[in-house]
Structure 1
Amino acid sequence: MFIQRRYSLKWRLTFLFSSVMLVLLLFLTIFIFWSTSNLVYQHEQRLLNQKASAIASDLKTEITEESSLDMSYLSRLLMNYSDANQSIALLDQKGKRLASIEGANWSKEPDDFYDRILTAKESVEFPFASRIIYVEISETTEALEWYFTMLFSILLFASLITLALSGIGGYFLSKWGLRPLDQLITQIHSISPQRLSQRIHHYNVEKEIYELIHAFNLLMDRMEDTLVSQQRFVTDASHELRTPLTIIEGYVSLLQRWGKNKPEIREEALGALRQECDRLSRLIEDLLTLAKLQDESESNTQKNIQSLTPLLLEVKHAWLPVYPPQITLSFEWTEPLFLYMDRERMRQLLDILLDNARKYTDQGEVKVRAFSDESWVHVMIEDTGIGIPESELPHLFKRFYRVDKSRNRIRGGNGIGLAIAQSIIQDHQGIITISPASQGGTRVHVQLRKEPAPQQD
């Protein structure tokens, strides 16, 4: 399978930094060139206005009578002010050209990107006549082309040098800034499956790297706990499966040696084999149930808002005949008891809790109470049985955990029921706690989110 290789973070940061610098340099170059060229054009325009004023003043001094306003005389006067890139013209009030001169490089149309036509106009009033003559000077900025070309070349060269230096500097800065990350990667590679207890040190590092290392160490803690739990689960499951298999193997050997001719031995062996097969079936069924509950893909598929009351009635009728005469089973509940629940899972939960109460209560009472408050529906199962030491309470929901293994084996437990119950409660986003009861025995308290009653159509 082909996997596309991504660029390293250093190169990506360098590219990003260089791209940002390229955009900034582009805008900066355009701004400098535009502002400088405008300043130059404004300076040239001021010089042109000053020249037009000077020509108008000189003409007013040179021309002393109206007879001097002929074209040849005016043209000779304008020759004193000629410029290679300028056109100087004298116009009357109607715009008629009286006289004009043009420089050698004068062109009415700009030939280059940098070229412009600048115009200045000044009026001349003669004391001996009522007419007004206008001095109009037009100038092409072709002479500034070399200056603008040099300015553009300098800006381009400076931008390229700056871009290259920023790219090199960005790479080394990225490399220096990501050095703690490289060290972290090296330490992570050094962790092998046989050294999951190893943790990464996070002294004298930046805040972001510290948070990354802290998050990684927490992840390793969870992975180690999961692996230890899985190994313990495999060990406990193997032990639980090996015990009935050993018993079955022993009785099979007994049948092979003496059971063929002795009916009493054969009957005893077959009964024990049936008992151990039933025990294996229950264990395997509990394991499959626990695995199915932990598969999130099957969660919430059968949940809906419904009342717990019909289920309590069903459980009551199912368990009253099962309890022995020396144990009194009582139910008590107060409406409303609406939940967002999977009915089959909730029935399984109640069955597990009532079965545990029956197994560990020799005589007395098992009481089931259900009620609700503003936020929760509470289900409490309290018995007068043998009880559980407080030191064992934190471990009750672990798989295959039993307070007294020998006593538990006699009573038929395998240590998975409460783990299944906790998975059901977690799937319903509830809370389950176990504590000593006030009259001895054990109290199981289940809290489930209360829901409003659905509206009837």
Structure 2
Amino acid sequence: MNLVKNFSITKRMTFVFAFIFSITLFCLSACVLYSVELYQFFSAHNDIETTKKYILTDNIKLSDIENGEALYSRKDILVEIRNKDGILFKTTAFVDGIEHSVIPYDRIAVKELEDEDFLIEKTKCIIQDITYDAVIIKDLHDEKVFLKILFSILALVDLVGIMIALISGYIFAKKALKPIDIIIKTSRNISYKGLSERIPLPESRDELYELSLVLNNMADKLECIFNKQAQFVSDASHELKTPLAAIIGHASLISRWGKDDREVLEKSILAITTEAEYMENLITKLLYLAKLDNEKAVMIEPFNLSELIATIYKDVSMCNENFEIICTCEPNVQINTDKAMTKQLILILLDNALKFTDSNGTIAINCISNDDKVVLDIIDSGCGMCENELAFIFDRFYTNDKARNRTSSGNGLGLSIAKEICELLSLEISVSSILNEGSKFQLIFPKF
């Protein structure tokens, strides 16, 4: 059993195919052999019945029997007619030693005498009003020889059939599993050469086609994740390098002149605190992104979106009194999604609007419920964006200032987190913007 497990799939398929074919061939040969043997038996029995009918005719005379003229005569059939005293007549003498006492009346039987098979039947016959015993014996020698020849032919055919089954099964299995060999070869190339290799799709749209398609999709996702990870590490290193350099510089400044210059000390401490807060904010968002990337399940539950928006509006308005924040929301809007993530999503979009809107600017929150969806718009009167920037705003660490300065305290992670949340909750998010006029972010929640 362990030896079979070590065989390749091609060999195992070949053996299985050959085994099934062999069993089928053996069964077919056995059926043919049995059918021919059965046919021979009934044919011999029919010969005996024909002879029996002839013997039992009423016009047979004893004188005819004695002269050997009236009995049915064939070289492979022996007919004996006996009375109580012994044999009156025997047509041939190709067998001797049959005991009539062991042969029941009106029953046909196969007996083996002198290594030969005979079909025997004993019956009563009336000749000139006298009852005699009639024994009819059919020689089965020719039938037995024919069966032996047929058996040899079928055995040879079975042997040739098994050889053909092994060869054709191997060729068929090799051809059928060729796409798997290609998959293995391509997978090895991916391991050695990188994630750019792809499996050629088979022409037939069968299970192997689906397997190749799934593996290619998996390779696409792995390549995308790998590229994102590489970009993520590069951008994170860049973002962390700048505040660390600033902290080290100000620490060195304090070490040199801060002890004697109060103004230098206070400025350096403020700068270090600012950079540390920036790093803390950056690390917090990075950890949240990592959590979203590994999220296995969300807490889907029905809740009142109107109440959640009202709470957020109240908190944001209290902390940002120098902005005009307007909230227009229909009452009792019910949705079914993760409440905590929805709150985080709205806060990110509001924080983004506040970040890029000047003081005394306007920010509007509009929520409208339709038959099958809920539309939430967050509109600001900030600096806006160019049309060519809209395709990149959800990328990690992207900011709308190419110099990547942090005058607006942004690190380019907020909107990427918002995008991740939307994908996780199956929400739609879109943005439209006009440079120097403002931006509008739109969220679409399914009701059910």
TM-score normalised by the chain length of structure 1: 0.80
Gaps of 5+ in 1: 452-457
Deviation at 1:255, TM superposition (A): 0.9
**Which residue of the partner structure matches residue 51 of structure 2?**
51
**Which residue of the partner structure matches residue 71 of structure 1?**
83
**Which residue of the partner structure matches residue 234 of structure 2?**
235
Deviation at 1:135, TM superposition (A): 4.6
1:26-81 superposed Cα distances (whole Å, 9 cap, x missing partner)? 3212221221111111211121112223333598233699xxx98257x4334235
The letter of the residue matching 2:350 is: L
Structure 1 CA distance, aligned partners of 2:405 and 2:318?
23
**Aligned ranges for residues 167-182 of structure 1 at < 5 Å?**
167-179=166-178, 181-182=180-181
2:222 paired with 1:223: yes
Change (3 A) 1:119 1:230: farther
**Which residue of the partner structure matches residue 246 of structure 2?**
247
Structure 2 CA distance, aligned partners of 1:396 and 1:413?
12
Structure 1 CA distance, aligned partners of 2:333 and 2:95?
103
Deviation at 1:125, TM superposition (A): 5.8
2:342 paired with 1:342: no
The letter of the residue matching 1:286 is: K
Please tell me whether the aligned partners of residues 386 and 435 of structure 2 are also in contact (alpha carbons under 8 angstroms): no
2:397 paired with 1:400: yes
2:427 paired with 1:430: yes
Deviation at 1:220, TM superposition (A): 3.5
1:158-178 superposed Cα distances (whole Å, 9 cap, x missing partner)? 323321331133213333454
Deviation at 1:201, TM superposition (A): 5.7
**Secondary structure, in 3 states, of the residue corresponding to 1:394?**
coil
**Which residue of the partner structure matches residue 38 of structure 2?**
38
Deviation at 1:447, TM superposition (A): 1.2
Structure 2 CA distance, aligned partners of 1:275 and 1:283?
12
Change (3 A) 1:143 1:443: same
| Match of residue 357, structure 1, among 353, 358, 382 | 353
1:80-100 superposed Cα distances (whole Å, 9 cap, x missing partner)? 35663996979xxxx989xxx
Please tell me whether the aligned partners of residues 49 and 120 of structure 1 are also in contact (alpha carbons under 8 angstroms): no
**Which residue of the partner structure matches residue 77 of structure 2?**
none
Question: In terms of mean alpha carbon deviation, does 272-281 or 354-363 score higher?
Answer: 354-363
The letter of the residue matching 1:77 is: L
Structure 1 CA distance, aligned partners of 2:31 and 2:422?
67
**Secondary structure, in 3 states, of the residue corresponding to 1:332?**
strand
TM-score normalised by the chain length of structure 2: 0.81
User: Cα RMSD (Å) of the superposition?
Assistant: 3.8
Structure 2 CA distance, aligned partners of 1:120 and 1:442?
114
Structure 2 CA distance, aligned partners of 1:447 and 1:7?
56
Deviation at 1:139, TM superposition (A): 5.9
**Aligned ranges for residues 274-293 of structure 1 at < 5 Å?**
274-293=273-292
The letter of the residue matching 1:313 is: A
Question: In terms of mean alpha carbon deviation, does 278-287 or 192-201 score higher?
Answer: 192-201
**Which residue of the partner structure matches residue 455 of structure 1?**
none
Structure 1 CA distance, aligned partners of 2:185 and 2:203?
15
**Which residue of the partner structure matches residue 12 of structure 1?**
12
Please tell me whether the aligned partners of residues 387 and 436 of structure 1 are also in contact (alpha carbons under 8 angstroms): yes
Deviation at 1:141, TM superposition (A): 5.7
**Secondary structure, in 3 states, of the residue corresponding to 2:56?**
helix
Change (3 A) 1:408 1:250: closer
**Secondary structure, in 3 states, of the residue corresponding to 1:296?**
coil
Structure 2 CA distance, aligned partners of 1:8 and 1:38?
45
**Which residue of the partner structure matches residue 25 of structure 1?**
25
Structure 2 CA distance, aligned partners of 1:247 and 1:438?
32
Change (3 A) 1:357 1:80: same
Structure 2 CA distance, aligned partners of 1:24 and 1:412?
79
Structure 2 CA distance, aligned partners of 1:85 and 1:377?
107
Please tell me whether the aligned partners of residues 105 and 122 of structure 2 are also in contact (alpha carbons under 8 angstroms): no
2:441 paired with 1:444: yes
Deviation at 1:11, TM superposition (A): 1.1
Deviation at 1:149, TM superposition (A): 4.6
Please tell me whether the aligned partners of residues 393 and 434 of structure 1 are also in contact (alpha carbons under 8 angstroms): yes
Deviation at 1:352, TM superposition (A): 0.5
**Secondary structure, in 3 states, of the residue corresponding to 2:7?**
coil
Change (3 A) 1:78 1:241: farther
Deviation at 1:276, TM superposition (A): 0.7
Change (3 A) 1:291 1:48: same
1:193-219 superposed Cα distances (whole Å, 9 cap, x missing partner)? 5543345566x9666577665655444
Change (3 A) 1:170 1:105: closer
Please tell me whether the aligned partners of residues 82 and 134 of structure 2 are also in contact (alpha carbons under 8 angstroms): no
Change (3 A) 1:61 1:396: farther
Deviation at 1:281, TM superposition (A): 0.5
**Aligned ranges for residues 127-206 of structure 1 at < 5 Å?**
129=129, 135=134, 137=136, 144-145=143-144, 147-179=146-178, 181-183=180-182, 185-192=184-191, 194-199=193-198
**Secondary structure, in 3 states, of the residue corresponding to 1:316?**
helix
**Which residue of the partner structure matches residue 76 of structure 2?**
none
The letter of the residue matching 1:37 is: E
**Secondary structure, in 3 states, of the residue corresponding to 2:391?**
helix
Change (3 A) 1:407 1:438: closer
Aligned residues: 424
Structure 1 CA distance, aligned partners of 2:139 and 2:97?
6
Structure 2 CA distance, aligned partners of 1:85 and 1:324?
131
